[in-house]
Chains A and B, each alone.
Chain A
Amino acid sequence: AQRVTQPEKLLSVFKGAPVELKCNYSYSGSPELFWYVQYSRQRLQLLLRHISRESIKGFTADLNKGETSFHLKKPFAQEEDSAMYYCALAGGTSYGKLTFGQGTILTVHP
């Protein structure tokens, strides 16, 4: 069975502070990990995926297979980063199926 855990429901930081959103997963095979984001009154959209290894809007995430984690990080948070963030896993040939964590609401205060 595959499972994604985001331990923090809410995370508050001040503008300019570093932010880390935690994600741990459980999967027996080789996973594909994603971070999706939902800004206020917008639809869910992909932020980044581990295989692309790129930084989007200043965010990065490294897949740590030893710790089964895929934490999302940004060195200097901005107010526009305030949103709901979901970590998601796709496994093997599990077509079209994403297993989502419960989500973390990030609030960046001015």
Chain B
Amino acid sequence: KAGVTQTPRYLIKTRGQQVTLSCSPISGHRSVSWYQQTPGQGLQFLFEYFSETQRNKGNFPGRFSGRQFSNSRSEMNVSTLELGDSALYLCASSSGLPNDEQFFGPGTRLTVL
């Protein structure tokens, strides 16, 4: 089975711009979760999508949004970028059953200048 893939792997943006990150889950997985990883805050949950619906959401501002397509691929969007949005963004896929194992992608490294 191919693992979770994320594109792009690296991004450099400037303040005020917007960015879209993509995640392709393991075949057959219908749930995709997104996390932000920073040295100061560690790994923080952004949101989770299942069957094209957001089922769960973390404590992030509305500038962070996401969506999921019918093939379970997911995108997350960050608008009006701030310096503090610089982070590694990880996605993880799972079957969608409660508390099931999550399989993580390699991450997208976003740098905001």
Q: Which of A's residues lie within 8 Å of B, judged by CB?
A: 32, 34, 43-46, 49, 86, 90, 92-103
Contacts and interface: CB of A to CB of B under 8 A. Distances in A.
Contacts of B3: 43
Interface of B: 3-4, 31-33, 35, 42-45, 48-50, 55-56, 58, 90, 92, 94, 96, 98-99, 101-107
A84 to B, nearest CB: 11
Contacts, number: 64
A47 B99 CA distance: 15
Contacts of A49: 101
B104 A44 contact: yes
B102 A46 contact: yes
Contacts of A86: 43
B94 A96 contact: yes
Nearest to B39: A102
Contacts of A43: 3-4, 104-107
24 contacts: A32-B99, A43-B3, A43-B104, A43-B107, A44-B90, A44-B92, A44-B104, A45-B103, A46-B101, A46-B103, A49-B101, A90-B98, A92-B98, A93-B98, A94-B56, A95-B31, A95-B48, A95-B96, A96-B31, A96-B48, A96-B49, A96-B94, A98-B33, A98-B102
Contacts of B102: 46, 96, 98
Main secondary structure of the interface of A (DSSP, over half): loop
A95 B56 contact: yes
Contact of A99 (B45, B92, B94, B106): B45
A26 B106 CA distance: 29
A45 B99 contact: no
A90 B96 CA distance: 13
Given A34-B101, A96-B48, A98-B92, 4 more contacts: A46-B101, A96-B55, A96-B94, A97-B45
A96 B33 contact: yes
A97 B105 contact: no
Contacts of A97: 33, 45, 48, 56, 58
A41 to B, nearest CB: 10
